Amino acid sequence: MSVESSGDRVVVDAARCQGYGMCVGFHDGVFDLSPTSSVATVIRDRIEDDDRADVQDAILACPAQAISLTSRGS
């Protein structure tokens, strides 16, 4: 699942995600973890510059290293 901003995408790799939910703790407006799923999802179709620091923190904190932020052209 991915979300695009003006130049970047937030991606959660469903094959790597273990459902720890740390990303939701950093930014519950971008990430969600359903009680019936073991994989986090990206729930916003757009991230703002103000969200970038929290998204970066979620990327660094993910124990499964399942989150990435990539350039739109990648």
Q: What is the mean pLDDT of residues 3-17?
A: 79
Specify the number of domains making up the chain: 1
Tell me: the pLDDT tens digits for 18-64? 999 999 999 999 999 999 999 999 998 677 788 889 999 999 999 99
| pLDDT score for 13 | 96
| pLDDT-based confidence at residue 3 (cuts at 50, 70, 90) | low
Torsion of CA 5, 47, 64, 60, to 10 degrees: 100
CA distance 66 to 49: 21
What is the domain extent for residue 53?
2-71
| pLDDT score for 6 | 56
For residue 42, the domain's CATH number is: 3.30.70.20
